[in-house]
Amino acid sequence: MRALIRVENRMDKLREMEVFVAIVDRGSFTGAADKVGMSAAAVSRGVNSLESRLGTHLLARTTRSVRPTDAGMAYLEACRKVLDTITDAEASIAVDQRNPVGTLTVSAPILFGERYVAPLINAFALRYPEVNVNAVYADRTTRLLEEGVDVAIRVGHLGDSSTFAISLGFVRRRTYAAPSYLATHGEPLHPRELANHHCVSFTGVTSPLEWVFNENGSRLSVKLQPRMIANLGSSAVLAAVDGVGIIQLLSYQAASEVADGRLQPVLTAFEPESIPVNLLHIERRSTSGKIRAFVEFVTEALRNNAQLQGMDATATRTSR
């Protein structure tokens, strides 16, 4: 009887861990209830029981949000390790080990995700029907551990020490204008001439009031007064295509528009240094079947993407 009680207690602890992780991942008790298939009241009882047993508050609750305390962040890492180990153990003894199981959370920048990552995620979901995918597209740096992200595509220089990074290639920061704009206003021959032009700034790429160039190997910053500032990439690109002004973008963001002639590069002699693109995942999850399968599935495809060689669609592709 005592052995049975001990087993049941361990099962209760695992369930409490699942509930706690679900609350953090979903940001609410109701969201966690949907994820774990329990009522909101049961979720509340579960986390209260967990906090009572541990003797500390794991969650800071307000009327608008729920977030982990410092103690909660430390316990969250431990919970993820335990739950990941169980998931991986179950996957390792599956009848067909070539088919991973579980829920995979992937994040990527919005426009890059829409154009290049979403099709791969869709193909992955069809290839591996036992994996549920949570796709998060956001123009911000996602925190893999804190936000429960398994794999992230990162455009930019890295600072994460707790992640594995797989190089996918690079993109370039380039300046573009619509042919209609150039026909009316002329083409700038030096970045400083932008002070006399209409400009569209996309806050996801540069500071809206200062664009960066390279002149003879040195960084050149140019201050300007944009005609338009947009925080959404697709809106900024559309404004440039419509001739509102000159725009500075990452090369992949203008790929379609350059290919069909709606935008063309300008100031190419002053292009800044390339920007790396990496696939990141948490080191402790490197053996997870679902993560390993996804990494293998997308890495080659993205490395073979011309846009991750920093190439415009009109340029001749080179190999690295």
Q: Is the pLDDT score of 228 beyond 90?
A: yes
In Å, how far are 11, 236, 237, 247, 257 from 241, measured between CA atoms? 58, 9, 6, 9, 8
Quick one: pLDDT at residue 133? 92
**Percent with pLDDT over 70 in the chain:** 87
> For residue 32, what is the enclosing H or E element?
helix 29-36
What six digits make up the tokens of 290? 């679902």
Give, in degrees to the nearest 5, the angle at Cα 295 between 294 and 297.
Answer: 60
Instruction: Determine the average pLDDT of the residues in 229-253.
Output: 92
Q: 243: closest CA among 285, 189, 180? A: 180
Residue-range domains of the chain with CATH:
2-91 (1.10.10.10), 94-171+275-308 (3.40.190.10), 173-270 (3.40.190.10)
Task: Report the SS3 class of residue 164.
Answer: strand
> CB-side exposure of 65: number of CA atoms within 13 Å?
5
Given a contact cutoff of 8 angstroms between Cβ atoms, the answer to whether 13 and 49 are in contact is: no
Q: Is the pLDDT score of 237 beyond 90?
A: yes
Most confident residue range from 95-104, 150-159, 177-186, 273-282: 177-186
CA–chain centroid gap for 133, Å, is 14
3-state DSSP percent of the chain in helix, strand and coil, to 5? 45, 25, 30
DSSP state of 115: I
Residue/partner pairs of 253-259 with CB below 8 Å, 24 or more apart: 253/111, 253/112, 253/202, 253/205, 254/174, 254/176, 254/312, 255/115, 255/307, 255/312, 255/313, 256/115, 256/313, 257/176, 258/176, 258/312, 258/313, 258/314, 259/313, 259/314
pTM of whole model > 0.75? no
Instruction: Determine the average pLDDT of the residues in 46-62.
Output: 90
- Which of 8-12, 18-22, 34-38, 149-153 has the weakest average pLDDT? 8-12
Burial of 78 (0-12, 13-18, 19+ CB in 10 A): exposed
Over residues 281-320, the pLDDT tens digits come to 875 544 578 888 899 899 989 998 887 775 554 443 333 3
Q: 275 — phi, psi (to 5°)?
A: -120, 125
Handedness of CA 308, 309, 312, 317 (dihedral sign): negative
